[in-house]
Amino acid sequence: MKYVIFDFNGTVLDDVEVCIKAENKTIEHFGLDREPLTMDEYLHIFTFPVKDYYARVGFDWSKNSYEEVGRYWFDWYCALKPEYKVYDGVVEMLKKNHELGNKNILLSASSLVELKKQLEELGIEEYFDEVLGIDNIYAGSKVDIALDWIKDKNPDDCLMIGDSLHDLETAKAMGVKCVLVAKGHQAKDILEEGHDLVVDDIREVELI
């Protein structure tokens, strides 16, 4: 193995509770006739594309625009930044991977500028050899970014670690092995329905 590709939100960054808090603020603000989201409900309805997830929550796009709802949610998400944290075991994994001579690659559909800022704030920017986001030359979706990155590499040299079936989709598009960690934004039973390599903790991932 030469490259380990890490998803960010839900794999490196523990922001699940922050996302739920921001969602409940958004639900309240837009006056949805429903109870606040619980952790269990969130983990079972969260999906990609995110617009479909919002529809599962109960947003009616004939009443509010996706952009308006998403902006309000994002403002709250940013306001809750002090509650972000790195998952236990991630730094240990990043260090171990370097000791094995592999490169750590961060892959996200988030803004590259924001990603680098968050990594600096979290004190983990030094552990990543490459940071891939939508503001660099790999413009487009997460899958587009991944395909552009891997085009000059051997998929057999790569491993992807994520927390969602979208990460699995991205890995399949690249033709690389994928391990999903059931600590992020989708429930373990959801992950196991779609994949046979699911672990409870990132420290269970076997590095070579």
pLDDT, one tens digit per residue, over 119-170 is 999 999 999 999 999 864 434 589 999 999 999 999 999 999 999 999 999 9
Q: Where do the structural domains in the chain lie, given as residue ranges?
A: 3-14+84-204, 16-83
Q: Other C-beta atoms within 10 Å of 137: how many? A: 9
Contact 9, 184 (CB under 8 A): yes
CATH number belonging to domain 3-14+84-204 = 3.40.50.1000
What is the residue whose two structure tokens read 């009616």?
60
* Distance of alpha carbon 116 from alpha carbon 122, whole angstroms: 10
Averaged pLDDT, 169-194: 98
Summarised one tens digit per residue, pLDDT across range 37-87 is: 999 999 999 999 899 999 999 999 999 999 999 999 999 999 999 999 999
- For the chain, give the mean pLDDT: 94
Query: What predicted TM-score, i.e. pTM, was given to this entire model?
Result: 0.94
Q: Is the pLDDT of residue 193 over 80?
A: yes
| The pair of three-digit structure tokens given for residue 45, joined into one six-digit string | 């309805």
The residues with which 103 forms a beta bridge, in sequence order, are: 3
- Closest to 161 in 3D by CA, of 204, 190, 121: 204
The residue with tokens 């952790």 is 39
Q: How far lies 63's CA from each of 28, 34, 58, 68, 69, in Å?
A: 15, 16, 11, 11, 11
